[in-house]
Amino acid sequence: MATIHWFKRCVVSEVTQVFFFFGCYQTCLPESIIIGTKSFSRHSSLTVDRQYFRSAAMAQFWKPGTEKPRLLDDEEGGVLFYSASPSSSHTYGYASLEKQRQRLPVFKYRTSILYLVETHSTTIIVGETGSGKTTQIPQYLKEAGWADGHIIACTQPRRLAVQSVAARVAEEMGVKLGEEVGYTIRFEDVTNSDLTRIKFLTDGVLLREMMDDPLLSKYSVIMVDEAHERSLSTDILLGLLKKIQRRRPELRLIIASATIEAKSMAAFFQTRKRRPQLEGEDRGLQTEPAILSVEGRGYNVQILYVEEPVSDYLRATVSTVMSIHDNEPMGDILVFLTGQDDIDTAVQLITEEAQNSGKSSLGMIVLPLYSGLTRADQDLVFSPSPRGKRKVVISTNIAETSLTLEGIVYVVDSGFSKQRFYNPITDIENLVVAPISKASARQRAGRAGRIRPGKCYRLYTEDYFVNEMSSHGIPEMQRSNLVSSVIQLKALGIDNILGFDWPASPSSESMVRALEVLYSLGVLDDDAKLTSPVGFQVAELPLDPMISKMIIASDQLGCSEEIITVSAILSVQSIWISVKGQRELDGAKLRFAAAEGDHVTFLNVYKGFLQSNKSSKWCHKNFINYHAMKKVIEVREQLRRIAQRLGLALKSCENDMQVLRKAVTAGFFANACRLEPYSHNGMYKTIRSSQEVYIHPSSVLFRVNPKWVIYNSLVSTDRQYMRNVISIDPSWLREAAPHFYQQQPLNANRL
DNA sequence: GAGCACTGC
């Protein structure tokens, strides 16, 4: 392909001599802590590289058994760096497991960690993947007696991590999972209230627990793991834990992360300046956070940068993969691109290129990886590559944190990912391709060093990495719609949302917008307090507040069974299988299509699924995602239980779809749109802000264009597309939200 | 007639 050669030619022609630079520095520590590694130096040795890359720095990850630099920097930031003294040896039943435990890097810090937790309210532990912090620290705490009469909690951002870590710890302790060691995730509580002493849980579950027990009084130590990811729920949790600490000085917090800005996190938990006479300090408990750094266990990853910025990262990706395959020893390749579109194209281009070049096609298996794939397709990437073959996985961010692939030796990093951004003025969340942060780049590179030393090819220049890439991404909190977060805080009795102490404050526009939406839903009153009962009921449901409101309205309208089904379907990613050739999918959709719109279509799919006896074959035949439907069933059951607890009547409207549409209107009235009169291209305008929007072609109402519709969400590409659309009668709007629409020109006769 | 990074309750 001529286009691919362009990249090679261009670079080759400009590279006359290439240098190798060697430097030894630790990428696993935040810059603020590395200041003491004086040995860091860069000396260049002249080598001609046959690649088109310049090896600018060797990212040296610490290996077990090597001495690490020690430093003490307690001048300002409160960084305590303890020397690694061997812990006293203990003997436990499981010899081989015990040996393994002692070989983990974190073991050398056992005494230091216990000392810090004993003497400090908050301990920040920085440790790379493989340091063993997640599995070992809860055990150390238990061995030291922190579980006597209390529970040790360890939170994770993801369900899978909770399950696997809990299983591992139970195994190491030689106990049955669910007894002394347990875990809780949504839909699964594998704990025993009498026996469980170490409990793993998602941070979202811990937030929910706070609704019943605001001070989290059954926990003695709470370890918040992967805090560097700065997810929405982690940040809310950190803000709330800081508040709890003031009421419960004896509670110990451990904030664990890979590449956190340790000092800024420490500054967040720094309370001394504001309250010089904290109760805890009288008892020798330091309220100033301690920071401890633990080395990881990855192998060296050599970082290579492009000499010149690439104009087309897709082409650059293809030629880089081909070059690795032709020139480098065996080992699988992991490529980070942005989304399904790019990935499918890259898979195709690489496959073609390999076939054209003849010999190299023999040894390559090229596989896509993104969440929209079916389970079977995702499993392909986990099967070991056949002898003599090189596996090339082209992935989204899913391989950065959520999934770990073994056998990766080479990483190709495009430097981009899709990120969500929220505009509080237009109230629209956009998904845009944006440059990643240094922290992400390091995380991606680290994926190459899991089994042996690897290489990471960055499709951007070193100068760009050093001077332009931001060190950490923007926390999710500052990129999201905050309605769900605000209602959670309200439910926990946080009245002053605008004054809440966040690890990273969201814009006041976002918060004001969230308050407005909640007010219009009747969830907050004039004093911005939760209304009773609607506000409390909405807060209790683990859903977007607009969906929760829809459920509550369905009680009066007598269609709660149907609305709960619709809610469950709206809260899973997509019930349709994503296929490249969409013809068949469109045909399949037609079988379920309802004139009223997508919500009713969903109901038809659900009914069909039940009639098929929840058959996976039936799903396959109808282009429906079986795993998504199973999740729908689970979510639906949970919602029914909560609805009953809230005193809502579970009732079916049978075939009266008008009440169902009214219930949807009660939750989503703010998303009402009117077809522009005389519009020939299906243009709608939102009632609230006269924004130009169109029905998404995936909707059953595409080209049907009813005069009045309500959408569930907007997707913006070159146009604003409404997804999941239902037709309504405009008179229902004022009925559902009189205050919201009192000044809006709703006269349908104007059409 | 177009496209949905990834989590989580």
Report the distance separating Cα A508 and Cα A662, nearest Å.
33
Residue A67 lies in a domain: no
DSSP A675: E
What would the pLDDT profile of A203-256 be if each residue is shown by its tens digit?
Answer: 999 999 999 999 999 999 999 998 988 899 999 999 999 999 999 999 999 999
**Closest Cα to residue A454, out of A314, A330, A320, A295?**
A330
Q: Are residues A393 and A456 in the same domain?
A: yes
For chain A, how many residues are written? 751
Contacting residues 160-179/A vs strand B (CB within 7 A): 160
Residue nearest B8 (alpha carbon to C1')? A204
Residue nearest B2 (alpha carbon to C1')? A697
CATH number, domain of A262, equals 3.40.50.300
Q: Are residues A245 and A218 in the same domain?
A: yes
A397 touches strand B (CB under 7 A): yes
DSSP code string of A698-713: TSTTTTT--SEEEEEE
Q: Are residues A460 and A390 in the same domain?
A: yes
Contacting residues 201-230/A vs strand B (CB within 7 A): 202, 204-205, 208
Which residues are paired to A420 by β-bridges? A431
Q: Are residues A635 and A497 in the same domain?
A: yes
Q: What average pLDDT does the segment A472-478 reach?
A: 89
Cα angle A376, A415, A353 (rounded to 5 degrees) comes to 60
Which pLDDT score is estimated for A204? 93
Residue A66 lies in a domain: no
What would the pLDDT profile of A349-397 be if each residue is shown by its tens digit?
Answer: 998 888 887 665 568 899 999 887 877 888 888 888 888 889 999 999 9
- Please give the structure tokens belonging to residue A671: 């998303």
A582 touches strand B (CB under 7 A): yes
Q: What average pLDDT does the segment A133-151 reach?
A: 95
pLDDT higher at A709 or A745 = A709
Q: Are A598 and A725 in contact (CB under 8 A)?
A: yes
% of chain A surpassing 90 pLDDT: 53
Which pLDDT score is estimated for A384? 85
For A161-165, A264-268, A319-323, A482-486, which range has the lowest pLDDT when averaged over its residues? Answer: A264-268
CA dihedral sign of residues A562, A567, A572, A576: positive
Q: Are strands A122-127 and A290-294 parallel, antiparallel or unpaired?
A: parallel
Residue where one domain finishes, among candidates A468, A496, A511: A468
**What is the distance in angstroms measured between the alpha-carbon CA of A158 and the sugar C1' of B8?**
7
A344 touches strand B (CB under 7 A): no
Residue A391 lies in a domain: yes
Residue A377 lies in a domain: yes
Q: Are residues A206 and A304 in the same domain?
A: no
Strands of the sheet containing A53-59, edge to edge, are A42-45, A20-25, A53-59, A301-306, A454-458, A408-413, A332-336, A390-395, A364-369
Residue A315 lies in a domain: yes
DSSP A467: I
Which pLDDT score is estimated for A581? 58
Q: What average pLDDT does the segment A90-107 reach?
A: 75
Q: Which helix (H) or strand (E) holds A440?
A: helix A438-446
Which pLDDT score is estimated for A52? 36
CA–CA distance from A615 to each of A272, A364, A587, A630 (Å)?
60, 36, 20, 10
Which pLDDT score is estimated for A372? 79
Q: Are residues A600 and A451 in the same domain?
A: no
Q: What average pLDDT does the segment A501-510 reach?
A: 89
A715 touches strand B (CB under 7 A): yes
Q: Are A474 and A430 in contact (CB under 8 A)?
A: no
Q: Are A116 and A123 in contact (CB under 8 A)?
A: yes
Q: Are A58 and A27 in contact (CB under 8 A)?
A: no
DSSP E strands: which ranges in A399-553?
Answer: 408-413, 416-423, 428-435, 454-458
Burial class from Cβ neighbours inside 10 Å (0-12, 13-18, 19+) for residue A473 reads: buried
Tell me the pLDDT band of A298, cut-offs 50, 70 and 90.
confident
Q: Are residues A493 and A640 in the same domain?
A: yes
Contacting residues 466-485/A vs strand B (CB within 7 A): 484
What would the pLDDT profile of A566-600 be if each residue is shown by its tens digit?
Answer: 999 999 988 988 666 566 677 778 889 999 999 99
Q: Is the peptide bond before A64 cis (omega within 30 degrees of 0)?
A: no
Residue A620 lies in a domain: yes
Give a three-class secondary structure readout of A186-217. CCEEECCCCCCCEEEEEHHHHHHHHHHCCCCC
Residue nearest B7 (alpha carbon to C1')? A158
- Nucleotide closest to A638 measured between CA and C1': B9
Residue A655 lies in a domain: yes
Residue where one domain finishes, among candidates A433, A468, A503: A468
Residue-wise burial string across A184-198, b where 16 or more C-beta atoms lie within 10 A, e elsewhere: bbeeebbbeeeebbb
Residue nearest B1 (alpha carbon to C1')? A697
- Nucleotide closest to A203 measured between CA and C1': B8
Contacting residues 491-530/A vs strand B (CB within 7 A): none
Considering A144-153, A298-307, A571-580, the range whose residues carry the highest mean pLDDT is A144-153
Query: SS3 for A71?
Result: coil
% of chain A surpassing 70 pLDDT: 82
Residue A708 reports pLDDT greater than 60? yes
What would the pLDDT profile of A651-679 be if each residue is shown by its tens digit?
Answer: 999 989 999 999 999 999 999 999 998 87
**Residue given tokens 């150390």 in the structure block:** A140
Residue A526 reports pLDDT greater than 80? yes
The backbone torsions φ and ψ at residue A286, rounded to the nearest 5 degrees and listed phi first, read -80, 130
Which domain does A721 fall in, by range?
Answer: 665-750
- Nucleotide closest to A681 measured between CA and C1': B1
pLDDT higher at A402 or A183 = A183
Residue A327 reports pLDDT greater than 80? yes
Which residues are paired to A303 by β-bridges? A57, A456
pLDDT averaged over chain A? 82
Residue A83 lies in a domain: no
Which pLDDT score is estimated for A743? 58
Which pLDDT score is estimated for A637? 94
Give a three-class secondary structure readout of A401-432. CCCCCCCEEEEEECCEEEEEEEECCCCEEEEE
pLDDT higher at A586 or A272 = A586
What would the pLDDT profile of A192-212 be if each residue is shown by its tens digit?
Answer: 999 999 999 999 999 999 999
Query: SS3 for A218?
Result: coil
Tell me the pLDDT band of A514, cut-offs 50, 70 and 90.
very high
CATH number, domain of A740, equals 2.40.50
DSSP A653: -
**Closest Cα to residue A424, out of A477, A468, A473, A388?**
A477
Q: What average pLDDT does the segment A273-287 reach?
A: 59
What would the pLDDT profile of A156-195 be if each residue is shown by its tens digit?
Answer: 999 989 999 999 999 999 999 999 999 999 988 999 999 9
What would the pLDDT profile of A631-647 be if each residue is shown by its tens digit?
Answer: 999 999 999 999 999 99
A573 touches strand B (CB under 7 A): yes
A698 touches strand B (CB under 7 A): yes
Which pLDDT score is estimated for A594? 93
CATH number, domain of A648, equals 1.20.120.1080
Q: Are A396 and A371 in contact (CB under 8 A)?
A: yes
Residue where one domain finishes, among candidates A642, A659, A676: A659
Q: Are residues A652 and A683 in the same domain?
A: no
Query: SS3 for A12?
Result: helix
R_g of chain A, CA atoms, integer Å: 28
What nucleotides of chain B have any atom within 7 angstroms of a protein Cβ? 1-9
Contacting residues 426-445/A vs strand B (CB within 7 A): 431
**What is the distance in angstroms measured between the alpha-carbon CA of A402 and the sugar C1' of B6?**
8
Residue A76 reports pLDDT greater than 80? no
Cα angle A618, A623, A628 (rounded to 5 degrees) comes to 80
Domain count, chain A: 4
Spell out the residues 6+ positions from residue A740 whose beta carbon is closer than 8 angstroms to its own.
Answer: A520, A669, A670, A733
**Closest Cα to residue A488, out of A692, A111, A214?**
A214
A378 touches strand B (CB under 7 A): no
**What is the distance in angstroms measured between the alpha-carbon CA of A261 and the sugar C1' of B7?**
21
Q: Are residues A155 and A53 in the same domain?
A: no
Query: SS3 for A381?
Result: coil
Q: Are residues A565 and A618 in the same domain?
A: yes
Q: Are residues A498 and A515 in the same domain?
A: yes
Among left, alpha and beta (phi > 0; psi -120 to 50; other), residue A408 is beta
DSSP code string of A581-638: S-HHHHHHHHHH--TTBHHHHHHHHHHHHHHTTS-HHHHHHTTB-HHHHHHHHHHHHH
A418 touches strand B (CB under 7 A): yes
Q: Are residues A501 and A589 in the same domain?
A: yes
Report the distance separating Cα A30 and Cα A281, nearest Å.
29
Residue nearest B9 (alpha carbon to C1')? A542
Q: Which amino acid is located at A283 in the chain?
A: R
Q: Are A254 and A221 in contact (CB under 8 A)?
A: yes
What would the pLDDT profile of A531-580 be if each residue is shown by its tens digit?
Answer: 999 999 999 999 999 999 999 999 999 999 999 999 999 999 889 886 66
**What is the distance in angstroms measured between the alpha-carbon CA of A547 and the sugar C1' of B5?**
23
